[in-house]
Structure 1
Amino acid sequence: VSSPEVLAALESLIEQKELKIYRSYIEEILTKPINEYRQFFNAVFEPFSALVTTTDSRSVYSRMNDVVNEHIQNLRKAIDKRNDLLQIHHGRQHDRIRLTEADLT
C-alpha cells in the first residue's frame, strides 16, 4: 500500500466522521423549533388534557413537521450521496489472500 493511498483513505475516513457530526448537528437545529413548540403547547394546555398531535394536515404543527422532515430527508440524501463517493470500492479480487512467491514455496 502506497503513502498516497493511505492518505486518501485517512482523508475519506475523517470526512465521513465530519459528515456524521454535521448531520446530527443540523438535524438538531432543524428539530429544535418543533420540540420547543411541543414542549410549550404541552406545558400550557396540559391542565386541560390537550396534547400536540399531527392528525390535521392543515395545522401549524403538521406543516412545520412536514417541512422539517423534508429538509432532513434532503440533508440525509446529500450526505449519503457524499458518503457513497467517499467509500473505497474494491473489486471482487480484493479480498483474496496475496502471497509472495517466497511464501508459496
Structure 2
Amino acid sequence: MAKPNIYVGINNEINGGMTSIGKIIRDAWVFDLIDESETCEGWNLAGVDALLQKVNNEWDKYGCLVSHLPPELREKHFKIHDIAIQKAKASGWSGDSETDDEDE
C-alpha cells in the first residue's frame, strides 16, 4: 500500500495529532509561521517538509529548548501543546507508544 502524498490535517490525525507532523504544525503555530486555524489538511508532503524547515530554523534560534524561548513564546508553547495533549488523551491517546522502546 502506497503512502498518501496529501496530508490529512492535524484534526484528522491518528493519536489525536500526537505525531511528528502534528508537532511540526503545533510548533509552527507557536512561532506564528501559520495561523492557529491552519490544520494543513490537503497539503502535499513537500509543503509539510518546507514548514518543517521553517520550524527548525526557529528552534535553532533558541537552542531547540523550550526553556530558552522568550516568556511569551514559552507560554504560547505550553498552552498549545497542553491543549493538544488534553485533546489527545480524551480521544484515547496515552503516550505509551512514544516510550515503548525505552525499556529495551
Greater helix percent: which structure? 1
TM-score norm. by structure 1 comes to 0.33
Q: Specify the structure having the higher radius of gyration (Cα).
A: 1
TM-score norm. by structure 2 comes to 0.33
